[in-house]
Amino acid sequence: MDSRNILKRLVHFARNEYKDKQPKSVKLYRVKSKNILTRGILQSLQIKEIGLITFLIIADYGESLRIYSFSRQGKLLSGVNISPDFNASKKMENYLKLEFQFPKKNIQKMKNYGKS
């Protein structure tokens, strides 16, 4: 399966997560590859490594974050809950590239919508 179809499936998974479980936001990330070996003055040779986890979907529920990890073929590997106080999300941003994002929901606007 090509990478475009894999991304479509992952966006579909993220959309279902966003509609069904109603988190504040859902983001789809691609894990960046890391350099293993660089040779030459102008880096004429670079060898990069891509790990087992290639894609992450992070759902923000306010009191917790749900992180789903996917393989290069788009298969779900695991899902983990972490607290938002954990500084891993700041550290992870250096290793991730945002591919797709569903907007943040403003809960106050939603509560006051029906009131006049």
Whether 69 is covered by a domain: the verdict is yes
d(CA 20, CA 96) in angstroms, rounded, equals 25
Q: What is the mean pLDDT of residues 12-32?
A: 91
**Structural domain containing residue 71:** 3-105
Whether 115 is covered by a domain: the verdict is no
Cβ-based neighbour number of residue 14 at 10 Å? 22
What pTM was estimated for this model as a whole? 0.74
pLDDT in tens, 25-44: 999 998 887 766 667 666 66
Q: Is the pLDDT score of 60 beyond 80? A: yes
The domain total for the chain is 1
Whether 112 is covered by a domain: the verdict is no
pLDDT in tens, 66-93: 999 999 899 999 999 988 776 666 677 7
Q: How confident is the model at residue 96 (pLDDT cuts 50, 70, 90)?
A: confident
Q: Which of these, 65, 54, 53, lies nearest to 89 by C-alpha position?
A: 65
